[in-house]
A = this chain, B = another copy of it.
C-alpha cells in the first residue's frame, strides 16, 4: 500500500520503481497461479486480484496475457535456477548429486507442491506461442547448466537427470490420490539416478 519515499534525489527512481515493483508482483503471482491451476485455468482477473489490484490495470503493464505467460515462465525457471545455485559447494560430487536430487524430488515440505516449475508448466508451454516457448527454453538451458554444475555431472547426464526428475514429479503429482504409488515413483527414480550417476561419476 504505502512505501518509503526517500527525500534525497532518488525520488524519480522511486517512482519508476513503484510500477516496476507492481509489475514484478504480478509476474510472481502469475507464476505461482499458473503452476497451481494451469495457464488456461487462471484469468487475468484472478491474477490481478491476488496481486492486490483490479483487473483493468493489467494492460498498463503487459501487452496481453501471452506476454505475461512468457514472463512468468522466465520468472519461474529463474527462481528454480537460483534456488539451487550454490547448493553445497563443500560436499563431494557424489554427495552433492544425491542431495540435489533428493531435495528436488521432495518438493516443498510445507505446501507439498512440486519443486519443479518446469514439470507443471511444460505441457502448457508446449501449446502456447513462440515467445512463451522461447522464454521456457532459455530457462531450461539455464537449469541444465545449474544441474551440471551443482550435481557435478556431465551435460548429457544432467539433461537425462533433469528429464527424469521432471517425469517423476509429473507422474507423482498426477497420481496424487494414490500416495503409495507416488512415493514408489519418486523412490524408483531416485534409485535409478543414483545408480547411473554413481556408476558414471
Which A residues contact B (CB, under 8 angstroms)? 36-41, 118-127, 130, 133-134, 136-137, 140-141, 156-157, 159-160, 162-171, 173-178, 181, 184-185, 187-189, 191-192, 195-196, 199-200
Contact (Cβ within 8 A) A130 B36: no
Contact (Cβ within 8 A) A177 B137: yes
Contact (Cβ within 8 A) A123 B164: no
Best-buried of A119, A168, A188, A200 by chain B (most CB within 10 Å)? A188
A interface majority secondary structure: helix
Which of B126, B168, B189 sits near A173, CB closer than 8 Å? B126
Which of B37, B120, B167, B187 sits near A164, CB closer than 8 Å? B167
Q: How far is the CA of A13 from the CA of B195 in the complex (A)?
A: 55
In the complex, chain B residues whose CB is within 8 Å of the CB of A141: 181
In the complex, chain B residues whose CB is within 8 Å of the CB of A188: 156-157, 159-160, 163
